């Protein structure tokens, strides 16, 4: 799965996905039916990018689940953090671990760590792709009240975004992007209390106030949350539209050009406090949230239940998200 030769052979040109097709590529001026010469857009330069592999991402989800729920202060959490650090390092990234002790809403003292993997360190223009890697400690939405104190396996709500990022890292090693890329895995996103927005996203709140590089800037960011379920719908989330409308346009246009408009839908959704909110508000880096929100039903059926296991994961959804994000990253200038 991770052999370099195989993936290099799969590099694709994406010029067709990101340029306007003209009727005459030899002459940028074409007469209309009345003989008036009009300017016709020139096709944009072909940009090389590697091919995203949903099969690879799926395996990365299985690996995370094998540790058990990645709840702060547990052995599974520690073991998965070590694996993520080693995996990203092996994929050619410069990895920075950002440990911290934070206080949760219920008084618990949590030992957490954000994981930052960087590529093309010399580049001053940079983009961010992020996801949370922790698991919710309470299955409080489970239909069985006896399960409410059990941790969530977090296959979709957590592991799917991390898996997409790991596959992006693998591709960045195979074919470096022209721009600098920082892949951030947030901790303690899901240790919150319903109705208390600021009790969530503790890792991204920490980073937004104390970035891993003092004065860190990125031209934009993409946060991935719940990006692996069947029939996923990614609407234009409210805070994304408020803080980063140009980035929303960039991502959703890319998805539509790649044939993924059935996932990245045009519906605008109410604002949701997620990791991207603090990156926008505190760090003032424009970031969008690619998050699965169903029309009229909220999140996917097994959200915050013990049922959020590998059966929730759909490879076509992973493929749509991964291809779209890769395209946006390699298009960035």
Q: Is the pLDDT of residue 30 over 90?
A: no
Q: Is the pLDDT of residue 6 over 60?
A: no
CA 152 to chain centroid, in Å, comes to 20
Query: For residue 88, what are the domain limits?
Result: 51-331
- Mean pLDDT within 279-308: 95
Residue 19 within any structural domain of the chain: no
- For residue 97, report the phi and psi dihedrals to the nearest 5 degrees: -100, 130
pLDDT one-digit tens code per residue, 249-280: 999 999 999 999 999 999 999 999 999 999 99
Compute the distance between CA of residue 198 and CA of residue 200 in angstroms, rounded to an integer: 5
Query: 37-39 and 48-49: which strand pairing?
Result: unpaired
The two three-digit tokens of residue 330, written as one number? 């390699």
User: What CATH number is associated with residue 55?
Assistant: 3.40.630.10
- Number of domains observed in the structure of the chain: 1
CA 126 to chain centroid, in Å, comes to 15
Residue 236 within any structural domain of the chain: yes
Instruction: Name the average pLDDT for the chain.
Output: 89
DSSP state of 259: T
Residue 18 within any structural domain of the chain: no
Per-residue burial over 226-246, b if 16 or more Cβ lie within 10 Å, else e, is: bbbbeebbbbbbebbbebbee
CA 215 to chain centroid, in Å, comes to 23
Residue 113 within any structural domain of the chain: yes
- Single pTM value for the model: 0.86
- Mean pLDDT within 186-214: 96
- What is the pLDDT, as a whole number, of residue 27? 38
Residue 36 within any structural domain of the chain: no
Q: Is the pLDDT of residue 13 over 90?
A: no
* Residue found by looking up tokens 């995996």 in the block: 87
Query: 287-291 and 220-225: which strand pairing?
Result: parallel
Residue 301 within any structural domain of the chain: yes
Compute the distance between CA of residue 161 and CA of residue 131 in angstroms, rounded to an integer: 5
Beta strands in 89-160 (DSSP E): 94-103, 109-119, 126-132
Residue 9 within any structural domain of the chain: no
DSSP state of 51: P
Confidence of residue 306 (pLDDT cuts 50, 70, 90): very high
Compute the distance between CA of residue 18 and CA of residue 12 in angstroms, rounded to an integer: 13
Q: Is the pLDDT of residue 239 over 90?
A: yes
Confidence of residue 47 (pLDDT cuts 50, 70, 90): low
CA-angle at 222, arms to 202 and 47, nearest 5°? 155
pLDDT one-digit tens code per residue, 104-140: 999 999 999 999 999 999 999 999 999 999 999 999 9
The two three-digit tokens of residue 234, written as one number? 């990614």
Q: Work out the burial of residue 61: count CB atoms within 10 Å of its CB; fewer than 13 is exposed, 13-18 middle, 19 or more buried.
A: buried
- Mean pLDDT within 291-308: 92
The two three-digit tokens of residue 245, written as one number? 């409308």
- What is the pLDDT, as a whole number, of residue 12? 39
**Treating both helix axes as pointing N-terminal to C-terminal, what angle do 315-331 and 160-174 enclose, rounded to 10 degrees?**
50
Helix (H) or strand (E) holding 34: none
The two three-digit tokens of residue 263, written as one number? 């996932």
Confidence of residue 219 (pLDDT cuts 50, 70, 90): very high
DSSP state of 286: -
Compute the distance between CA of residue 288 and CA of residue 304 in angstroms, rounded to an integer: 23
* Residue (of 230, 240, 226, 246) closest to 293 by Cα position: 226
- For residue 293, report the phi and psi dihedrals to the nearest 5 degrees: -130, 115
* Residue (of 313, 135, 326) closest to 232 by Cα position: 313
- What is the pLDDT, as a whole number, of residue 48? 73
Compute the distance between CA of residue 251 and CA of residue 228 in angstroms, rounded to an integer: 17
Residue 4 within any structural domain of the chain: no
């Amino acid at each position: 799965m991770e052999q370099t030769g195989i993936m290099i052979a799969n590099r694709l040109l994406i010029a067709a996905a990101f340029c306007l097709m003209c009727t005459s590529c030899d002459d940028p001026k074409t007469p209309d039916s009345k003989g008036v010469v009009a300017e016709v857009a020139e096709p944009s330069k072909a940009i090389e990018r590697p091919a995203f592999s949903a099969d690879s991402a799926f395996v990365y989800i299985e690996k995370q689940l094998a540790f058990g729920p990645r709840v702060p202060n547990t052995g599974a959490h520690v073991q998965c953090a070590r694996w993520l650090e080693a995996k990203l390092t092996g994929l050619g990234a410069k990895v920075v671990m950002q440990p911290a002790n934070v206080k949760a809403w219920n008084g618990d003292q949590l030992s957490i760590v954000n994981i930052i993997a960087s590529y093309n360190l010399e580049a001053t223009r940079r983009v961010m792709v992020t996801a949370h890697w922790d698991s919710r400690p309470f299955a409080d939405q489970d239909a069985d009240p006896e399960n409410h104190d059990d941790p969530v396996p977090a296959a979709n709500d957590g592991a799917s975004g991390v898996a997409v990022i790991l596959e992006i890292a693998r591709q960045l090693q195979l074919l470096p992007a022209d721009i600098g890329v920082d892949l951030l895995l947030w901790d303690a996103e899901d240790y919150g209390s319903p109705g208390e927005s600021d009790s969530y996203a503790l890792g991204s709140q920490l980073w937004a106030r104390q970035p891993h590089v003092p004065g860190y800037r990125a031209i934009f960011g993409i946060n991935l949350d719940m990006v692996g379920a069947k029939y996923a719908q990614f609407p234009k989330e409210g805070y994304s539209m408020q803080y980063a409308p140009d980035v929303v346009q960039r991502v959703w246009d890319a998805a539509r050009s790649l044939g993924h408009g059935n996932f990245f839908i045009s519906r605008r959704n109410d604002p949701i406090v997620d990791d991207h909110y603090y990156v926008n508000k505190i760090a003032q880096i424009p970031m969008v949230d690619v998050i699965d929100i169903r029309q009229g039903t909220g999140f996917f059926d097994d959200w915050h239940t013990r049922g959020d296991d590998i059966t929730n994961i759909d490879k076509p959804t992973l493929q749509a998200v991964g291809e779209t994000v890769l395209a946006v990253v390699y298009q960035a200038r």
